[in-house]
Structure 1
Amino acid sequence: MGTLAPYLLARASWLHRAPTAAITAWLGLAATFVVSGALALSHLLLAEPHVHDGLVGLLTACGLMTGDPVRAASPTPADLAAVLLPAAVVLLPALVLVRISWRTRRARRRQRDMLALVGSPAPQYGATVVEHEVPAVYCLPGRAPRVVVTSAALRVLSDEQLRAVLAHEHAHIAGRHHLVRAAVEAFARAFPGLPLARLAREQTALLLEMAADDRALRGHPREALAAAMYEVAAGQTPHAAMGAGGSGSLVRIRRVLDPYPKPGRATGLAVVLTSAAAPVLPLLIACGPGV
Structure 2
Amino acid sequence: MMLPAALLLLGALTAVVAPRLLARADWSDREPVLALWVWQCAVAAVLMCCVLSMTLSAAVAWQAVRGHVFAPAPRSVVDAYTLGTAGPWAAALATALAAGGAWTGAMLVREVVRSRKRRRLRRAELLLRAPVLPGEETGSRLVVLEGERPDAWWLPGPEPRFVVTTAALRRLKGRQLDALVAHEEGHAQARHDWLLHCSAALAGGFPQVPVFAGFRDEMHRLVELAADDMASRRFGRLTTALALVELNEDRGVFGPCPTPHGHVPQRVHRLLTPPDRLTAGRRLRLTATAALVPVVPVLLAFVPGLRALG
State the TM bucket, normalised to the shorter chain.
0.7 to 0.9
CA-to-partner distance for each residue in 1:161-215, whole Å, 9 max, x for gaps? Answer: 2221121111111221111111111121121122212221121211111111111
Q: Separation in 1 of the partners of 2:59 and 2:274?
A: 55
The partner residue of 2:176 within 161, 174, 179 is 161
Aligned pairs (5 A) from 1:94-243: 94-119=105-130, 127-233=142-248
Partner of 1:80: 91
Q: Separation in 2 of the partners of 1:219 and 1:113?
A: 33
**DSSP 3-state at the match of 2:283:** helix
Deviation, 1:4, is: 2.3
Partner of 1:251: 266
Deviation, 1:8, is: 1.2
How has the CA–CA distance of structure 1 residues 136 and 62 changed in structure 2, closer, same or farther, with 3 Å as cutoff?
closer
Q: RMSD between aligned alpha carbons?
A: 3.4
The answer to whether the aligner puts 1:7 opposite 2:16 as a matched pair is: no
Q: Separation in 2 of the partners of 1:22 and 1:91?
A: 28
Deviation, 1:225, is: 1.1
| 2:164 aligned partner, one-letter code | V
Contact 1:120/1:128 (8 A) holds in 2: no
The answer to whether the aligner puts 1:36 opposite 2:49 as a matched pair is: yes
Contact 1:132/1:151 (8 A) holds in 2: yes
| 1:14 aligned partner, one-letter code | W
Q: Structure 1 segments of 4 or more deviating over 6 A?
A: 60-63, 68-71
Q: Which moved more, 1:34-43 or 1:81-90?
A: 34-43
Q: Separation in 1 of the partners of 2:208 and 2:250?
A: 30
Contact 1:184/1:200 (8 A) holds in 2: yes
Contact 1:17/1:261 (8 A) holds in 2: yes
Contact 1:42/1:83 (8 A) holds in 2: yes
Higher relative contact order (CA 8 A, sep 6+): 1
How has the CA–CA distance of structure 1 residues 196 and 70 changed in structure 2, closer, same or farther, with 3 Å as cutoff?
closer
CA-to-partner distance for each residue in 1:74-106, whole Å, 9 max, x for gaps? Answer: x99755323222223444323322221122123
How has the CA–CA distance of structure 1 residues 152 and 275 changed in structure 2, closer, same or farther, with 3 Å as cutoff?
same
Partner of 1:288: 303
Deviation, 1:281, is: 0.5
